[in-house]
Each structure stands twice: as C-alpha cells, then as structure tokens.
Structure 1
C-alpha cells in the first residue's frame, strides 16, 4: 500500500549517550516510499571533538576514521534535502531526532519533522516480546543485522523492521494514530506504553519510574503527577534522557497533601536507593548549629563543621543549609545577626536600623532580655519534648490527612474519613501509618513549619482532643 507518504529512516552514531554536548560521528538515511527504499545517504562526520574510548569499543569509530570526514555543517544541506517532506523514523526516535535537532540548532537552523518510533510501533504491532532493543528484536522476528552499532547497518535493519510493521498495519490505523496531532507517542520514552502514561492522575503524590526488570530507578513527588512526569520526557539533559530511555513502567501513590508527598518521597528514596536520585541518598551530616556563652554572659548562636560544634542543636549536610536555617531563626526570634555570626566585622548589626534587632549589639537591650529569646530559639530548634498534629488535605473530598510528631519525633502519617471523630491520641494512632524519623524528614518538617506555623497543633496527650 503506497499512501504517498515518504519516510526517512535514520540512525546516527555519536560521541556519547546523551543529548547535551553530544556530537554526530556517523549518519545514515534510507528514504522509503511506503513500499520500498528509493534513496539513501551515508557519511562519517567529524565531530570536532574526541571520541571516548568506550564509544570506539562499541561502534569501532575512532578519531582517526573521522579526521578527514566532513563536519556536520558541510553535510547539513544534504540532510535537509533527504528528509524534506518525510516522516522521521528511527528505533528510539527521540534520541536520533534530538541529536540531529541539536546539531541544526547549533547552526541556527530550526529542524522540525514529524516522528515515528519503531520501538513503540513494534510494541503495539508485535506485542509480548521479551525485549525491544534493535538487536534482540531483529533476532526474534528473523531480521538479519549486520554491522551492529554502525549507522548504515542499524538503518538497514530498521528499514526491514519498518517493512514488517507496514505489512502488519496494512490499513495504517496504528501508524496514523501515532502521527495524529496531539498524540503523545513521539514524546513518550520508547519502552513506555501510552496506556501507562494515560492512567497517571493529575493529583498530588509520589511517582516511581521502573525499568524492564521492574526495579525502581527514580522516585519523585509532584502536585500534579501527570504534568510532572511529562516534564521529564521533554527535558533534554543527558541524565533525564538516560532515565527515560530505561523507563518501561511508571507507578504512583496519591497522597493528597504535598507535605505527605515530600515525606513519602524522602522515605522511598532511602528505601530503594534509586539509580537516578541523588538528593536524600546521603546519610551523614557534616555541619551543625550550636550555642555558646561569651565572657559577658551573652549567648551566641553559630554554625560550624560538626566535629567542631560543641553540643549541636541541629545537624545539616552543608554550611549553606546551616546558614539559611539560622537566618530564619534569627528573623523569627528577633535575634542579633552579629551574635548569630551572620554579620562579621561590625560594631552593630544592620538589622537594628530596620528594627529587626532590639539593640543588644548597641547596649540598648540587656543581656538577660536577649538571652531569654535565644533560649526560646534553642527550645524551638530542639523541639525534643513536644507533640504536634499537622492536619492536611486528604486524597479525596471525603478524607482528611494528618502527620504526627510525638515528643519531637516524627511518627508517620495517616488518613481519616472527614466525618470521623477522634477523641484521643490512642484513637488517632489506629489510623497512623508508621514511618521512620531521620534528619531529612526533620529538615522537611522544619521547612514546612517555617511557612506554616499555624498548622502545627500542639497536642496535650493527657487530655482528649478532636480532629
């Protein structure tokens, strides 16, 4: 069946696996008219940068081979001509398309073509195979694959696969659905079924990217799960591209509350240690906020390396985090930045001029009065003995959520029907999903409290209360 549509089946070899900074070393194009290949183009390309040894081992292309090859701008016109009025086809199309798009963008040219992915088409038209990588797919369906990881070898195999897919979709129903304007097929990772993306909710919660072994490789939180997941697919950073290429499934858990999403995300990262999560996998703090008293009896707050901090009040992962926290404490309790070691080499602090310091640095406030607020700040930071309930929005309109902090220790969160009356802490705990406390959790709770003090309800555990 020849429907008048032309396809440019393309493969590129590059200097690396990502998009940013990745340069083409070889390109092959086969123009297909819907029945057969009618034209072809092939060239090595001088990337104007060195080819990593690992890439040479994979492709066989080294710096010597491309030294006299044309640079991309020298063959750009031919690539435009060969792909003009064609649908751009590739196995994992987003990779090849984005690399070529980036090369043209560097030349100031807006390269834009409709796209078809033979991985996604194969998953739809040849379902149930154990793998859809080009090598294993070709072996499963009987397509010879020569010169693997060379542009023309992979392109010829992709063209034979394309012929098979065309024959399986004789009425072009699947092809046309993939090309339909507004279709997500060209945007989604090659290994991810559109049905998986379609069932993602536009609600607050935690989402999990999984690979073909069903291993969790990334955990994230979002106010709108579907929108946030989609943003990963559009991100062209090398790390995001690699993440999406390995993703074959996405699962999720709705939390209703952004705070609970943050808490759950932190816990899950420590539980699964996902490959693509960097933040919150750390376990050791290196800095701390502490207090000391000078010769005049005035109490100071300061931060330093944990080993040099006597009796640390709060622990942090870096000095920036420590300083920012102390800045908020200084402002909240109207402390003097000079004696919080936020302003140095000054006789009196700048905050006095804007009426945020009561003048202890000018002798206008007594040491006793100032120290009283410092002690209140230390108690606030320590928070060792108080119990709090944080009321949150539930996962639906018929539900309320809560976070429980007992004696300064995070206990977990839970969900309750909105018409349920709770008269005691023991009754509340029947709905509690127990979780572990740690420094990252405490950091999340401190950050939330700095902006939402009114949502922390102090619990008098000896007397009843109602939620």
Structure 2
C-alpha cells in the first residue's frame, strides 16, 4: 500500500494529519484508493495552506472527523501488507500518533505487524542529491502532479516505485530499513521494529553490494 500525509506541521506529537491518502496495489494493479481530509479544531497556519492549497474552509466542508479517519486507517492495516512512503519515517510517525489518540491499547501492535518501505532511503542509494519526491519524478521522467497534495503525491510515489524496481530489483532488501542523515539524526518517534542506519549522500548509483541494507 502506498500512502502519504499532509499535516499541520512537522512535529508528530503536537501536529496532526489534515489529509491522508492510500493506494492499494495487488499484482501490479490499483484495486482501491482512499483520500480524505481531516477536520481540525484550530485554524491552519498560513504556510501550510500556501504549501498544500488546503484551507480551513476545505477542512470544514470536506473533512472527516479524525476518529473516522483513524478507523478507516486501522481497517487498511492488514498483516500481509507492505506500507510504502517517501520519507516513511515522517508519515509512519504521524499515523502512529493518530492511531495512538484513538486506539491507545492497539497502536503499537497495529504498526508493528506491518512491513515498511521508504523510497527516500532507496533513492539516496540511486542518485545524487536532492532526494525529494519531485526530484525522483524529474530523475525518472515521470509525469508531474500537484505535489503537496497527499493523493497526488501517492500516485507519483507509485510510479517512482515502479521505476526503482525496473532500475534494479532489490527493493525487498530495504524493507524495514530507514536511512537517516547523520547530521540531524532520527526525527519523529523511533520504532523498535525499524532498522535505522546512518546514510550519507552519493553522487552515483551505488553497486548492489554497497546498498545501505548490506552495510
């Protein structure tokens, strides 16, 4: 499952999700998609509206209650699913605290039972800096979307994943391995089921014996 979030800020403990998008892929075909805004009980910061195009009126008119989105997310977290995001540490941290607020006794088990793949970690082993999703789209010649909207980012992410897999089929090596910038350390919540590894930038595609999971 490919997923992405838009949030009110960068702190997973204090801020919250305002849009959650998920695309379910089975045997290479999109079989289900989910994209919902999430109501807030406060006004969005101007910089978030400017970045995402999401404003208070949109959330008031189209947003679901956070509890409903948490129930929807929980229903999607199946034992055999692989959760894929670009900068997955960020999105995993936010959905964890979303679940924790509404399922405090289940949140840890819900995220621990899943496998997680971070395409940002893969990309850092494939191309030179920078490594944002839009950079991956440019690098692989993928059609651009409305970035910073969760559903569009998720669609772009799926296309990036396919290009990464075509380029070199070693993505399974990266499951539950998250690279982090040694200058800044690990952001968000540290999860015991994720293998965190310090990852420096490369100016080239590293050979298969030197990818981060093998270090």
TM-score (norm 1): 0.37
Q: Are residues 1:154 and 2:153 paired?
A: yes
Matched, 1:177 2:170: no
Distance 1:13 1:146, change over 3 A: same
Deviation at 1:235, TM superposition (A): 5.6
Match of 2:133 in 1: 134
Counting only pairs closer than 5 Å after superposition, residues 266-415 of structure 1 correspond to structure 2 as none
1:101 maps onto 2:100 in alignment: no
Aligned to 2:209: none
How far is 1:88 from its partner?
Answer: 1.1
Say whether 1:73 aligns with 2:75. Answer: no
Residue 29 in 1 paired to residue 29 in 2? no
CA distance in 2, matches of 1:17, 1:235: 9
Unaligned runs of 5+ in 2: 191-195, 202-215
Map of 2:122 onto structure 1: 121
Question: CA contact under 8 A between 1:46 and 1:72: conserved in structure 2?
Answer: yes
Instruction: Give 1:123 deviation, angstroms.
Output: 2.6
Query: Structure 1 residues 175, 136: CA separation in 2 closer, same or farther (over 3 Å shift)?
Result: closer
**CA offsets, 1:255-312, max 9 Å, x none?**
xxxxxxxxxxxxxxxxxxxxxxxxxxxxxxxxxxxxxxxxxxxxxxxxxxxxxxxxxx
SS at match of 1:147: coil
Please give the alpha-carbon distance, in whole angstroms, between the structure 1 residues aligned to 2:30 and 2:120: 20
Quickly say closer, same or farther: Cα 1:249–1:34, change in 2 above 3 A.
same
Does structure 1 residue 58 correspond to structure 2 residue 51?
yes
Contact 1:146 1:153 in 2 (8 A): yes
Mark the structure with the bigger radius of gyration. 1
- CA offset at residue 60 of structure 1? 0.8
CA distance in 2, matches of 1:64, 1:235: 29
Three-state SS of the structure 2 residue aligned to 1:96 is helix
1:48 is aligned to 41
Distance 2:171 2:168 in 1: 7
TM-score, normalised via structure 2 length: 0.78
- The answer to whether the 8 Å contact 1:48/1:71 transfers is no
Where does structure 1 lack aligned partners over 5 or more consecutive residues?
1-7, 193-208, 211-217, 219-231, 238-243, 251-467
Say what the alpha-carbon RMSD is for the aligned residues: 2.4
1:9 to 2, 6, 12: 2
8 Å CA contact 1:145, 1:154 repeated in 2: no
The Cα of 1:234 is off from its aligned counterpart by 6.9
C-alpha distance in structure 1 between counterparts of 2:136 and 2:45, whole Å: 28
- Residues 327-375 of structure 1, C-alpha deviations (whole Å, 9 max, x = no match): xxxxxxxxxxxxxxxxxxxxxxxxxxxxxxxxxxxxxxxxxxxxxxxxx
Q: Note the alpha carbon deviations across 1:104-136, whole angstroms, 9 max, x for none.
A: 011123131221001112233xx2333111112
